[in-house]
Amino acid sequence: MPLPPNAPWWKTGVIYQIYPRSFKDTTGNGVGDLRGVIEKLDYLGHTLGVDALWLSPFYPSPMADFGYDVSDYTGVHPLFGDLATFDALVAKAHERGLKVIIDVVPNHTSEAHPWFVESRASRDNPRRDWYVWRYPAPDGGPPNNWLSVFGGPAWEWDETTGQYYLHSFLKEQPDLNWRNPEVRRAMFEVFRFWLERDVDGFRIDVAHFLMKDPLFRDNPPNPRPGEYHKDMGAYDTQLHLYDKGHEDVHGVFRDLRRLLDDYSRERERFAVGEIHLYDWDAWARYYGGNLDELHMPFNFALLRPNWEARAVRAVVDGLETALPEGAWPNYVLGNHDETRIAGRYGRAQSRVAAVLLLTLRGTPTLYYGDELGLEEVDVPPDKRQDPWGLRVPGLGRDGCRTPMPWDASHAAGFTTGEPWLPLNDDYETVNVDAELKDPRSMLTLYRRLLTLRKNTRALHAGDYQPLDDVPPSVFAYLRQADGETVMIALNFAAEPARVPFPGQGRLLLSSHLDRDDEPLREHVSLRPHEAVILAR
């Protein structure tokens, strides 16, 4: 069933992720800021044509994990601005019809958060139980075998109080104890604070981590390592049965959904969860049995398969089958934790990836810079900053977090100072200004795709139907709504392909941007690495 014409914004729109440190600096300190985002709202809403912005954390933080270690959930780090600037950003975004989604990090705080400072002060501090404290195992070592995602044990010994505390990520990011009702109340106050400031929704950081096994059982060894979408190092030696994803987490999201619904009278307020689960059924449960939990769990499944027609189709078909009745799909190909699309699939295929992402059924989330075809930047060792990469060589995320190149001037127009991470080497040609002038650029492709998607109901609201009668290097599907049919054909190979196209029609868009309005009859020829959108 296609979406009805009055479907909410988060189903019909396209989300764009901004990593504020790297978007646009207006103070000259080399780090992007909220005023920079305000300056670029016209680029986002008008020039590019996305519908919602997701801002990675901008809160006060010691920056051990670049803002994912929050020391005050209701403030703005002076590097990024202040609350008045944030309010201005929301108001100006709304004036332009853009929604604003903020990143909330409820699983852990910074060790510098006053809650943790109190909690670690003494064993009988009233905030002690706000975090996860345990006595050593009988041998004096950590309470169990749980591992930190970022390497090493998930437990840190605290000399002063003679207990270990849990940190699923860095030791500077202690996990909150979500089984304590006061923690739950405090974090719901945080959600309320931002809803009152008029945000349109939340991206929930590592949402499935909130509830752990109440018995703190050891994780069993992993009989089938290598199933993640990337190498996870030693973390992958265990089956993570007990250190995250406990049943009880669903109660938290039912409560959150009720809160969001209470604030949804004028427009729907929304929550998307960061949930890396590869079992479709476990993943789909985060929508809630009655669609009463998260509006969407992020779907990262496209990051996993080999970049081949059959494998990619299998993911899409798998998702379509796994979706609970009435749940809305979504797709992600890049974010601040993953290798850039162009780095992963190569330049030629990253254009095919753009067409895929913006023509599938479901809400796409774009990552800043991917619309320029920005490559993964090879950050030299002395400039590397990501704590994960510094702890586990090879897993660094700096290369996908480099500054947005705006033009060919000093530091690509990102800053008047020294950028905090190096720019892409090719910023003199790969930048917004240059690509806007080039009718065949990646940016032009994204702009045209976004316009076409917005203006074509079949593309933003239609059904999905895969096509079987195609060559093995091609993934092709129909999108249909109210009698309108659009066909998409993606060639994943470096060889040409010929795809049947019953009847007559015309080409709406080629990823090469040079075949507009070509008439079609009986078949369509695809060049190497070409993706096309066709109208019957």
Q: Which residues of the shown chain bind ligand GLC in the complex (CB under 6 A)? A: 65, 68, 105, 169, 205-206, 274, 336-337
DSSP assignment of 304-325: SS-SSHHHHHHHHHHHHHHSPT
∠427-63-412 over CA atoms, to 5°?
15
Query: Which tokens go with 213?
Result: 């096994």
Q: Give catalytic status of residue 274 as yes or no.
A: yes
Instruction: Yes or no: say if 173 and 69 are a contact pair by the CB < 8 Å rule.
Output: yes
Question: Beta strands 531-535 and 484-491: pairing type?
Answer: antiparallel
Cα dist from 496 to 5, 234, 310, 373, 503, whole Å: 38, 42, 17, 23, 21
Amino acid, res. 95: E
Q: Which of 205, 268, 293, 386 is catalytic?
A: 205
Q: How far is the CB of 399 from ligand GLC (least distance, A)?
A: 14
Q: How far is the CB of 274 from ligand GLC (least distance, A)?
A: 6
Furthest CA-CA distance within the chain: 78
Instruction: Yes or no: say if 81 and 140 are a contact pair by the CB < 8 Å rule.
Output: no
Q: How far is the CB of 316 from ligand GLC (least distance, A)?
A: 24
Q: How far is the CB of 266 from ligand GLC (least distance, A)?
A: 30
In the numeric block, the tokens 């499944």 are attached to 301
The residue with its CB nearest to ligand GLC is 68
Distance CA 326, CA 281 (A): 15
Q: For residue 29, how far is the Cα from the chain centroid?
A: 27
Strand, helix or coil at 133?
Answer: strand
DSSP letter, residue 330: E
Q: How far is the CB of 65 from ligand GLC (least distance, A)?
A: 5
Query: Which tokens go with 451?
Result: 């316009």
Q: How far is the CB of 155 from ligand GLC (least distance, A)?
A: 17
Closer residue to ligand GLC, CB minimum distance, 205 or 293: 205
Distance CA 37, CA 19 (A): 10
Closer residue to ligand GLC, CB minimum distance, 65 or 156: 65
Q: Which of 103, 213, 243, 274 is catalytic?
A: 274
Closer residue to ligand GLC, CB minimum distance, 206 or 271: 206
Q: How far is the CB of 224 from ligand GLC (least distance, A)?
A: 22
Contacts of 455 (CB under 8 A, 6+ apart): none
Sheet architecture: strand order including 463-466: 463-466, 474-481, 484-491, 531-535, 497-510, 519-526
Distance CA 396, CA 369 (A): 18
Closer residue to ligand GLC, CB minimum distance, 169 or 328: 169
Closer residue to ligand GLC, CB minimum distance, 65 or 375: 65
Closer residue to ligand GLC, CB minimum distance, 51 or 274: 274
Closest CA to 68 of 202, 186, 205, 175: 205
Distance CA 128, CA 118 (A): 7
Closer residue to ligand GLC, CB minimum distance, 204 or 284: 204
Closer residue to ligand GLC, CB minimum distance, 205 or 268: 205
Q: For residue 211, how far is the Cα from the chain centroid?
A: 21
H/E run at residue 250: helix 249-262
Q: How far is the CB of 205 from ligand GLC (least distance, A)?
A: 5
Q: Could you give the residue numbers annotated as active site?
A: 205, 274
